[in-house]
């Protein structure tokens, strides 16, 4: 029997998206064929914190040996069968410190990186492939600084990981947003209302802008540009007047905000990356539109249909692009591992697969270019030519 080329560990962190399982399958199948042993780390970085470095301990809750039989059944499905979490080992609250580490970490916030490194050594991991957004990958960058061989894969519905035009999950999010917006039109049209649809997008408005560009809405409001609700009411009123069915649609990024107001949060509690849960801006905008609408509708208010898409665009199977791109990303990750290139982020830039240094994920924030792609006066996409533009136009 040929000697193993080493051990590769895979983990997924942050929110689930369609396309994670195809990526896990692609990495595993290729790695096994190349002679590697493959481990799946359960629940993202939480698995590497909770694992007990004892040969007699039951660590099945924290890791699993991956085989072709295991991954072949999940490659066509959504979500992540390895599960996920928003754990940040460098900022671990005392309340979730595992019992076997309780005596070691007694501060309110703890850095458990030494145990993560110890557990990677205990498992015999030679190469780590984390799949996640900028939060998950910011800790991957920390491990790269600590000497771990890391090759990262970008994932997020918001498509806002720096260094890549595309992140796993974005296409399915856009596809579902367009589909659901079109389905909601029947209710908006039946009642002659404004239709407010809240979509993902904490800091970047790609998930609102691209569906609007594709005809899913008349207007969109995005985090990059604080807006005036009276202007939005005026624009939607014009759109409604021109529509034979007497309705108009606006897509709202969850991180959008009106002038001189902050983002809208569901509560005060923040995750380990400092993010409070967003949600409810669609409610505030719907109320603002109804209050402002009489000025543009002969003194009569326009009622509003308000829908938050939320997990409807996260769940279910990946579309074609989120089946193909993860396969390519997984294979490129193996190419990098086998060529000895570490500290890399697999990427897609102007239609070409490649990789960039992983430190790009913490070097800047990836946002919509307002000058190129958004008309702040009309609250809608703006583009002068599509010649020589990449597939998703606004994400490069």
pLDDT over 70 for what percent of the chain?
Answer: 98
**Residue 237 pLDDT level (bands cut at 50, 70, 90):** very high
Same domain, 154 and 13: yes
Q: Is the pLDDT of residue 261 over 80?
A: no
Residue among 116, 126, 118, 87 at smallest CA distance from 9: 126
Q: Are residues 305 and 337 in the same domain?
A: no
pLDDT at residue 23 in the model: 98
In a domain, 396, yes or no: no
Task: Tell me the C-alpha distance between 211 and 184, whole Å.
Answer: 14
**Would you state the pLDDT for residue 149?**
98
Residue 1 clears pLDDT 60, i.e. is over it? no
Residue 387: inside a domain: no
Indicate whether 390 belongs to any domain.
no
Residue with tokens 């209710």: 187
What pLDDT sits at residue 262? 73
Question: Is residue 184 predicted with pLDDT exceeding 80?
Answer: yes
pLDDT of residue 147: 98
Burial annotation 159-180 (CB, 10 A radius, 16+ → b, else e)? bbbbbbbbbbbbbbbbbbbbeb
Residues 145, 150, 156, 161, CA torsion sign: positive
Separation between Cα atoms, residue 166 and residue 396, nearest integer Å: 8
Q: What angle do CA 168, 391, 76 make, to 5 degrees?
A: 35
Residue 394 belongs to some domain of the structure: no
Q: How confident is the model at residue 313 (pLDDT cuts 50, 70, 90)?
A: very high
Number of domains in the chain: 2
Reported as a single tens digit per residue, the pLDDT across 95-121 is 999 999 999 999 999 999 999 999 999
The 10s digit of each residue's pLDDT in 24-80 is 999 999 999 999 999 999 999 999 999 999 999 999 999 999 999 999 888 878 999
- Angle subtended at Cα 11 by Cα 8 and Cα 13, rounded to the nearest 5 degrees: 160
Rounded to an integer, the average pLDDT of 194-209 is 96
Please give the torsion angle defined by the CA atoms of residues 15, 16, 22 and 24, in that order, rounded to the nearest 10 degrees.
60
Whether residues 238 and 212 fall in one domain: yes
If asked whether residues 121 and 108 sit together in one domain, one would say yes
Catalytic residue chosen out of the listed positions 158, 160, 165, 239: 158
What are the tens digits of pLDDT across the range 137-175? 999 999 999 999 999 999 999 999 999 999 999 999 999
How far apart CA 180 and CA 177 sit, in angstroms, is 5
Q: Tell me the residue range of the domain where 303 lies.
A: 172-310+370-381
**Per-residue confidence (pLDDT) for residue 32, from 0 to 100:** 97
Q: Are residues 131 and 234 in the same domain?
A: no
Inter-residue contact 176 to 309 (CB < 8 Å) = yes
Whole-model pTM?
A: 0.95
158 part of the active site: yes
**361-388 per-position pLDDT tens digit:** 999 999 999 999 999 999 999 988 888 8
Q: Is residue 176 predicted with pLDDT exceeding 50?
A: yes
Looking at residue 274, what is its pLDDT? 76
In a domain, 391, yes or no: no
| 257 falls within a domain | yes
Predicted local distance difference test score (pLDDT) of residue 308: 96
Size of the chain in residues: 396
Whole-number average pLDDT of the chain: 95
259 or 124, which is more confident: 124
Mean pLDDT of 252-261: 90
Beta bridge partners of 356: 345
Are 8 and 31 spatial neighbours (Cβ–Cβ below 8 Å)? yes
Res 3: pLDDT: 59
Residues 164 and 284 occupy one common structural domain: no
Q: Are residues 178 and 302 in the same domain?
A: yes
DSSP string, 160-180: --TT-S--BTHHHHHHHHHHH
pLDDT score for 322:
97
Same domain, 146 and 180: no
Helix axes 206-213, 170-191, angle to 10 degrees: 60
Q: Are residues 213 and 344 in the same domain?
A: no
pLDDT of residue 378: 98
Q: What share of the chain is helix, strand, coil (3-state, %, to 5)?
A: 35, 20, 45
pLDDT at residue 80, rounded to an integer? 97
Asked if residue 85 and residue 103 are part of one domain, the reply reads yes
- Please check whether residue 79 lies inside any domain of the structure: yes
What pLDDT score was predicted for residue 209?
Answer: 97
- Assess whether 29 and 142 both reside in one domain: yes
290 in the same domain as 333: no
196 in a domain, yes or no? yes
């Amino acid at each position: 029997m040929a000697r193993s080329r080493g051990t590769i560990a895979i983990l997924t962190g942050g929110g689930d998206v369609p396309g994670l399982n195809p990526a896990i399958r692609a990495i595993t199948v290729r790695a096994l064929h190349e002679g590697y042993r493959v481990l799946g780390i359960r629940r993202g970085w939480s698995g590497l914190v909770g694992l007990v470095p004892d040969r007699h301990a039951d660590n099945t809750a924290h890791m699993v040996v991956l085989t072709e039989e295991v991954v072949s059944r999940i490659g066509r499905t959504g979500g992540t069968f390895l599960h996920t979490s928003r754990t940040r080992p460098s900022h671990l609250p005392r309340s979730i410190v595992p019992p076997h580490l309780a005596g070691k970490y007694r501060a309110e916030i703890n850095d458990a990186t030494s145990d993560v490194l110890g557990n990677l050594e205990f498992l015999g991991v030679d190469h780590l492939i984390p799949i996640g957004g900028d939060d998950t990958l910011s800790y991957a960058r920390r491990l790269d600084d600590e000497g771990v061989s890391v090759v990262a894969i970008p994932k997020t519905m918001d498509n806002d990981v720096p260094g890549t035009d595309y992140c796993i999950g974005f296409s399915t999010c856009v596809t579902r947003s367009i589909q659901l917006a079109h389905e909601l039109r029947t209710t908006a049209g039946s009642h002659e209302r404004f239709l407010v649809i809240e979509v993902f997008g904490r800091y970047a408005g790609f998930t609102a802008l691209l569906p609007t560009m594709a005809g899913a809405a008349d207007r969109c409001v995005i985090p990059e540009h604080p807006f005036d609700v009276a202007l939005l009411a005026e624009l939607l009123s014009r759109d409604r007047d021109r529509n034979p069915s007497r309705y108009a649609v606006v897509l709202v990024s969850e991180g959008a905000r009106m002038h001189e107001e902050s983002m809208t949060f569901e509560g005060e509690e923040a995750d380990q990356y400092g993010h409070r849960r967003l949600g409810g801006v669609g409610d505030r905008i719907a109320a603002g539109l109804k209050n402002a609408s009489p000025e543009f509708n002969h003194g009569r208010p326009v009622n509003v249909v308000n829908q938050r898409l939320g997990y409807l665009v996260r769940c279910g199977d990946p579309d074609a692009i989120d089946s193909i791109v993860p396969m390519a990303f997984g294979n490129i990750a193996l190419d990098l591992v086998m060529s000895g290139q570490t500290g890399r982020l697999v990427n897609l830039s102007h239609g070409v697969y490649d990789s960039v240094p992983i430190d790009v994920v913490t070097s800047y924030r990836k946002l919509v270019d307002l000058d190129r792609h958004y008309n702040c006066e009309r609250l809608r996409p703006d583009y002068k030519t599509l010649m020589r533009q990449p597939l998703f136009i606004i994400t490069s």
